[in-house]
Amino acid sequence: MMKIVKVIQWDMGHRVLNHRSVCKGLHGHRYKAEICVAGELVQKEGASEQGMVVDFADIKKTARKCIQDELDHGFMVWDKDEELIDFFKQSKGHKPVIVPFTPTAENVAVYIFQKLEDKFSDIFQTGLHLHSVKLWETPSSFALFERDGRQG
Ligand SMILES: [Zn+2]
């Protein structure tokens, strides 16, 4: 089994509504996600992907469509954050991303994992799977979500 990692980055605002300190205020991060895909090397003679797990370009293309295009310069809002939901209803020119969870690094990592896993299952050949998403919220803090064995 080989693991490969593609790194993507985007800018996004958020707040952690119930946080005891500064994370309660509106602010933004340069997010970075390390997308890890695991599988066996393609052995097929003459295939474009011979000797690879999967083409990095395929991961990049999917990640751009379902992560960066959707989130870059967006503002992630918990659907229970009524103050901000009201604000985004009244004020145009923003890019709210309304989600059913408080947007901590941990929850954003799971969100990205699930979005990618959905898309990857369409394009990946059998045996390949999304192994983990490491979501950097700051240069010194990340949340790591790994597929657990029970998911198969
Ligand atoms: Zn933050």
User: Domain ranges in the chain?
Assistant: 2-151
Domain 2-151 has CATH 3.40.140.10: no
Q: In this model, does residue 151 exceed pLDDT 70?
A: no
E strand spans, 2-150: 2-14, 27-39, 74-78, 96-99, 129-138, 141-146
- Whole-number pLDDT of residue 127: 78
C-alpha closest to that of 71 among 135, 140, 126: 135
| CA–centroid distance, residue 28 to ligand 1 (Å) | 6
| CA–centroid distance, residue 15 to ligand 1 (Å) | 6
Give the phi and the psi of residue 22 in degrees, each rounded to 5: -65, -20
- Whole-number pLDDT of residue 152: 44
- CA dist 84 and 27 (Å) reads 13
| CA–centroid distance, residue 40 to ligand 1 (Å) | 37
Asked whether 130 and 32 are in contact (CB, 8 A), the reply is no
Give the CA-trace dihedral at 5, 10, 15, 20, to 10 degrees. Answer: 50
Quick one: tokens of 145? 């979500």
Give pTM, 2 decimals. Answer: 0.92
- Whole-number pLDDT of residue 149: 60
- CA dist 120 and 130 (Å) reads 8
Active site residues: 23, 73, 137
Q: Tell me the per-residue pLDDT of 85-121, one tens digit each, with 9 for 90 and over.
A: 999 999 999 999 999 999 999 999 999 999 999 888 8
Asked whether 116 and 63 are in contact (CB, 8 A), the reply is yes
DSSP H helices in the chain: 56-63, 69-71, 82-90, 105-123
| CA–centroid distance, residue 123 to ligand 1 (Å) | 33
